[in-house]
Amino acid sequence: MKKVTMLDIANKAGVSKATVSMVLNKRDGNISEETKSKVMALAKEMNYIPNHLARSLSTKKTNTIGIVLPDITNPFFASIARAIEDGASYLGYNVIFCNTDNEIKKEEKYIKVLISKLVDGVIFIAGGESCTSIKMLRNNNVPFVLVDRYIDSYKEDYGVYCLNKSGVIQGIDYLYDKGKRNIAFVKGPDTLEISNQRLQGYKCAMSQYGIYNENLIFKGSFNIEGGMDSTKILLESKEKIDAIFYSNDLMALGGIKVLLRNGIRIPQDISIIGFDNIHISQFIEPELTTIAQPIYEMGKESCKLLIDIINNKRRLSKQVYFETQLIVRSTTL
């Protein structure tokens, strides 16, 4: 079925195509109310949908931003994407979501797609060593904001992050105050700088208390299965453990399942603390104590920052850092 055009409306209304264009683009100051009403009524009756591509080519704007994120199945990213979309809609922008599954090749493919679709800007949550993706955005003069996944090589670019290291220190301080001395740490993927930031917070706090033991550090993968696998290895290590700090909530969920399945009481035998405060962490049993990232605020701020950049609005600082917050629930004693 042929798409309805402005010319179709003009012919039916008995006016010029230019008149229809002025009415539909709200540049209708010199047009009579009768003509305006007739054109608008016909556009609705004929189900006319504007050709945004044509308008974009003339205005060089699409009022669309892209969001590139590593794992849409992780509630952390779903929540941050929701916040960005809320902010974009409020500010009159459409959103294109791109899920990369932490695959760099897929990430680069989506960056090319977004550039080709002439998005006005990109909110980019890196899946790993994302230098090529960032260089493509820069080389094509596409405004972008890095979010959450801090990359030291690009620390001067616009970014919205949480203070990972101090967040973990906050958690260790709490566990120490509760009398825990054998605190294990399940870290995130070594390919991510935020994993290292959290690990540095653990090492710094444990060393300051004189209780650092490198045998209590275990590899992790930021997903539930990874939390289960790491916890099985931790139990097999026979290390004396009275608390486990997981680098994100999903791994803590997996760890709790393994510990309970092995008859370990939480928190009586082992206290558990996570990182993120994803929505589900308050509903599991026992409810998860965690270090909360202000996920929704980070998403909203990243959207506002990007649209300020698109509109050339000056900012005092190119980076925004959010504090974390300790949320005490039932997995710590």
Q: Which residues bind ligand RIB (CB under 6 A)?
A: 74, 76, 148-149, 194, 222, 248, 250, 275-276
Neighbours of 330 (CB within 10 A): 15
d(CA 185, CA 219): 9
Residue 148 vs 229, nearer CB to ligand RIB? 148
Tokens for 154, please give them.
Answer: 């690009």
C-alpha distance from residue 308 to each of 89, 92, 95, 311, 329 (Å): 15, 13, 16, 5, 38
Shortest CB 88 distance to ligand RIB, Å: 21
Residue 28 vs 276, nearer CB to ligand RIB? 276
Shortest CB 255 distance to ligand RIB, Å: 14
Shortest CB 174 distance to ligand RIB, Å: 18
Residue 248 vs 271, nearer CB to ligand RIB? 248
Shortest CB 188 distance to ligand RIB, Å: 7
Shortest CB 103 distance to ligand RIB, Å: 15
Q: Residue 27 CA to chain centroid, in angstroms? A: 38
Shortest CB 192 distance to ligand RIB, Å: 7
Which residues touch 181 (CB under 8 Å, ≥6 apart)? 209, 211, 242
Angle at 212 between CA 223 and CA 246, to 5 degrees: 15
Residue 145 vs 250, nearer CB to ligand RIB? 250
Which residues touch 183 (CB under 8 Å, ≥6 apart)? 172, 175, 176, 206, 211, 216, 241, 242, 243, 244, 245
Residue 62 vs 277, nearer CB to ligand RIB? 277
Tokens for 270, please give them.
Answer: 């082992």
Q: Residue 40 CA to chain centroid, in angstroms? A: 40
Residue 129 vs 239, nearer CB to ligand RIB? 129
Shortest CB 125 distance to ligand RIB, Å: 7
Shortest CB 180 distance to ligand RIB, Å: 22
Residue 76 vs 144, nearer CB to ligand RIB? 76
Count Cβ neighbours within 10 Å for each residue of 75-112 and write b for 16 or more, e otherwise.
bbbbbbbebbbebbeebebebbebbbebebebbbebbe
d(CA 333, CA 324): 21
Residue 19 vs 223, nearer CB to ligand RIB? 223
Of all residues in the shown chain, the one whose CB is closest to ligand RIB is 248
- By C-alpha distance, which of 291, 292, 66, 294 is closest to 160? 294
d(CA 171, CA 209): 13
Shortest CB 262 distance to ligand RIB, Å: 24
d(CA 126, CA 109): 13
- Give the three-state DSSP class for 123: strand
